[in-house]
Structure 1
Amino acid sequence: MKRSVPAACCATLLILLTSCGGGSSDTGTAETPTGTTGTTGTSTGTGTGASSSTLITLDHGGFTLQYDCSAHTAMRYEYTLDVDTGSAARPSAFTLDPDLPAGCAQQTSTSSYASVMPGWDRGHLVTSNHMDASAALIARANHMSNIVPQVSTFNQGIWLDAENVAECHRDLAPVQVVGGVVYDDISNDHFVSSHGIRTPDWFWKVIVTTDTSGATRAIAWFIPNRPMLNTLDSYLVSIEALEQQVGADRVGLGTLPLAVRQSKPASTWALPAGCGLG
């Protein structure tokens, strides 16, 4: 059965979304993995190794993934951003993740999803532009453990808009970004045979920061992975409502004040004047 979703998530009005930075079209190439063991990321799970049913935490230095070895996908991601000083270029190739422990399965191919089904991108969970502090870090953001199938117009439109909110507000105060995916519909699982991964049906993202007075504030979205979506405002939810959708443990923000978790901004935060999206 499908999950109940906020009424706002049913909007399917077509709009033109202008992209000025952050995410991009899926133009990267596939690369044959070397099979070497990575030395920069660490993983923790239950027991001494990851079995096919183990949910592990994969620490890539600048971001962490809660990774489901049996589903070959990250279920949750988290990272914190400070003032943007990075300029490392995004790699042209996608790679399998050498830091996953033995026995933890991942996608079987780095090839584009569009080669199987046109109109789909290799979409980042952790935004590559947010990981441009070093070449090594942005390369880890291009591992397939951080990549899932996204509708191209979703990836290059509304998802990019959400990425840009964090990218701009990081220059005002430190920003915590938490997000993840929800799988609840098999009808769009086009890439199981080719890549070994189902297609996420919902994406959620929370941004936590402080205002000019130092008070904590947060914004959250719950967005369907579909074309022809409305603006970000249509998918705003409170953290408390998001917890009801995906589980409070999965969201992992229970230490925030209740008032912050119950609040929902009237509209998506405006991008500060002069924000650079590079």
Structure 2
Amino acid sequence: MAWLLTGSILAANVVTLKKEAFTLTYDCDQRSALRYDYTLNKDTGSASRPNSYYPDPDLPVGCEGQFSGRAYASVVAGWDRGHLVTSNHMDRSANSMKQANYMSNIAPQASGFNQGIWVDAENVAECYRDVAPVRVVGGLVYDDPSNDFFLESHGIATPEYFWKVILTSEPKTGAQKAIAWLIPNTDDVGELDEYILSIEELEDRVGVSQVDISVSAAVKAMKPTRTWSLPGNCNPS
């Protein structure tokens, strides 16, 4: 399948937004982040998630944000304000939690996707951060205008796919390991295991510059047959 990457990092009006605990690669014309990147250490935070969504005050002059922070479901039922950088991963401080609720970190996600398989992927990082430091990298793929329900109300298209890569290490050996998923943004998705691919395969699908992860060829070739089992005594909350 040939995928049109309308969110290419090579686009002219793309900026890097460095927040307290994460980084976004943001397309000012699409009003959408294209990629996110952050590292998690042992979870010691407990900041509460805000109830509101906010325009990003860090967008430079001439860089457009979404028109509104109101719920996508108020326009078309069955769509959530989906986080790219997981809100729960940002509980180190009230500021990080608020930044995760900036609309620059939000895109339309099908409710079944957002509240199901996306949470499962988020929980892998949440649980493994207490075993060893975890790096989370992810992004979006836009390639079909037929579901762009929110252009008029919010100024953002609807992504067809979300991808996520988790990198960590074995605590006893220090050996690096990785897992990646490329998941369709629909309600009728299956289990996480169905969408596993290697970083190398992900680069082939969405582009090397889009993924932008510098690790060894051996790590890029890793492709677990199943999603990592969550460590014992894991509490994703």
Q: Which residue of 2 aligns with 1:199?
A: 158
In the alignment, is the contact (CA less than 8 A) between 2:3 and 2:206 conserved in 1? no
Q: Which residue of 1 aligns with 2:174?
A: 214
In the alignment, is the contact (CA less than 8 A) between 2:47 and 2:94 conserved in 1? yes
Gap runs ≥5 in structure 1:
5-51
AA matched with 2:97: I
| d(CA) in 2 for partners of 1:61, 1:86 | 14
Q: Percent identity?
A: 57
AA matched with 2:118: W
Using structure 2 for the length normalisation, give the TM-score: 0.95
SS of the counterpart of 1:77? strand
Gap runs ≥5 in structure 2:
5-10
| d(CA) in 1 for partners of 2:193, 2:109 | 20
Q: Which residue of 2 aligns with 1:46?
A: none
| d(CA) in 2 for partners of 1:88, 1:185 | 37
| d(CA) in 1 for partners of 2:162, 2:225 | 20
SS of the counterpart of 2:148? coil
Using structure 1 for the length normalisation, give the TM-score: 0.81
Superposed CA deviations along residues 31-80 of structure 1, whole A, max 9, x for unmatched, are xxxxxxxxxxxxxxxxxxxxx94110000020000000000000000000
- Equivalences, count: 230
Superposed CA deviations along residues 180-238 of structure 1, whole A, max 9, x for unmatched, are 00000011100000000000000000000001311000000000001111100000000
User: Considering only aligned residues, what root-mean-square deviation do their CA atoms show, in Å?
Assistant: 1.3
SS of the counterpart of 2:145? coil
Q: Which residue of 1 aligns with 2:8?
A: none
* Residue 258 in structure 1 maps to residue 217 in structure 2: yes
Q: Which residue of 2 aligns with 1:170?
A: 129
* Residue 137 in structure 1 maps to residue 96 in structure 2: yes
Alpha-carbon shift at residue 2 of structure 1 (Å): 5.5
SS of the counterpart of 2:59? coil
* Residue 58 in structure 1 maps to residue 17 in structure 2: yes
AA matched with 2:3: R
| d(CA) in 1 for partners of 2:3, 2:16 | 26
Write out aligned runs for 1:1-278 (5 A). 3=3, 53-211=12-170, 212-253=172-213, 255-278=214-237
SS of the counterpart of 1:270? coil
Q: Which residue of 2 aligns with 1:29?
A: none
SS of the counterpart of 1:195? coil
Moved segments of 4+, more than 3 Å? none
**Bigger Rg, which one:** 1
| d(CA) in 2 for partners of 1:251, 1:239 | 8
| d(CA) in 2 for partners of 1:141, 1:259 | 33
